[in-house]
Amino acid sequence: MKGRNETESARADRNFVELLQGSRVAVTGVQVLFAFLLTVPFSPGFERLGEGDRRLFYVALVSAALASICYIAPATQHRVLFRQGLKETLVRRSNRYGIAAALALSVSMTAATMLVVDFLFHSAIAMVTAAIVALVAAWAWFGQPALDRNRPPEDGGGTDSPS
């Protein structure tokens, strides 16, 4: 038993539930973005996009698909591996999928933002806006937590962070 006076199995169960809860918010956003991107090529203005913007759209679409796959993977793997005694493996793997999904989502959001702003203004505003989106996502999702990993735990625990 560690930290919260719970068994390893109970801790793995709790960690997995917490990971899934965190993914629920993100997966909805990813699926809305992905669904929207799937409709864009069928809209009348899409044919006006140049080759560069079509490539940018491709990056946004594929990275949204990858983010969706990564966010859905833990729940699907849990179903496939149900009662196999691999919960700790699922926790570690789910954490990695969540990080990969957030990275793919940040790429998709950045590309989609750049595409829309470029469509609206045809200028450097698109690049600046996309850079701001990318930097804010990088800081909020990766930079700040990376700095916190080097701090001592506030609750004296430290056993709940999946690898």
Q: Which residue, among 112, 102, 91, 118, has the nearest Cα to 13 in the 3D structure?
A: 91
CA distance 4 to 11: 8
The neighbour count for residue 79, using CB atoms within 10 Å, is 8
- What pLDDT band is residue 17 in, cutting at 50, 70 and 90? confident
Does 161 score more than 60 pLDDT?
no
Contacts of 22 (CB under 8 A, 6+ apart): 98
- What pLDDT band is residue 2 in, cutting at 50, 70 and 90? very low
Q: Quick one: average pLDDT of 133-149?
A: 95
Average pLDDT, the chain: 88
- What pLDDT band is residue 7 in, cutting at 50, 70 and 90? confident
81-122 pLDDT tens trace = 888 888 888 889 989 999 999 999 999 999 999 999 999 997
pTM: predicted TM-score of the whole model, two decimal places: 0.83
- Render the burial of 121-157: b for 16+ CB within 10 Å, e for the rest: eeeeebeebbeebbeebeeebeeeeeeeeeeeeeeee
21-62 pLDDT tens trace = 777 788 899 999 999 999 999 999 899 999 999 999 999 999
